[in-house]
Amino acid sequence: MSILALDIGDKRVGAALSQGRLARPIGWFERGRGVAERQIVELVAKEKVTQVIVGIPLNADNTLGPQARKCVRFARRLQRRVTAAFIFVDEFSSTCEASALEGIAQGGEKGVLDARSASILLQSFLDGKTVPIGEHVLNQEVDQSI
């Protein structure tokens, strides 16, 4: 059983994988023309992923802002293409924590930061420190046609 975590951004999707109790960053996928989606679908099949943890940047009042809506739309497209269960979690501060851990300054390797962020999301999930986001939150003003 493998669990995959995704940190979805406008340009890249960071990824981390776990086959037990430890998360490890495995890289990132460049977005554009559906390439990242295809690569993630292939990864899910290759690694026999049973769960996909998706970080969503919720607003402080637990609503979806523009970036969160984009993340949900991307994840929903993936969800239609794989059999793994999707669990959405608040990605609160994972990027900041990843940046501090990696010592990545502005202009550094962003893909490494994205993968580390996904790893932090996944480890928090594995440690029971995250609570899944309810569907009532995810469905706030998300245009499913995109």
- Is residue 39, in this structure, part of any structural domain at all? yes
CA distance linking residue 6 with residue 133, whole number of Å: 15
Does an H or E element contain 122, and which?
helix 110-126
- Is residue 45, in this structure, part of any structural domain at all? yes
- Is residue 47, in this structure, part of any structural domain at all? yes
Q: What is the CATH number of the domain that holds 103?
A: 3.30.420.140
Supply the range of the domain harboring residue 88.
2-138
Q: How high is the pLDDT of residue 24? A: 96
Residue of 115, 144, 130 whose CA lies nearest to 58: 130
Q: Are 132 and 88 in contact (CB under 8 A)?
A: yes
Over the range 20-46, which residues count as b (16 or more CB within 10 Å of their CB) and which as e?
Answer: eeebebbbbbebeeeebbebbbebbee
Q: How high is the pLDDT of residue 14? A: 96
Query: Does the model's pTM come out above 0.95?
Result: no
pLDDT average, residue stretch 129-144: 76
- pLDDT of residue 64 exceeding 60, the answer is yes
CA distance linking residue 104 with residue 112, whole number of Å: 9
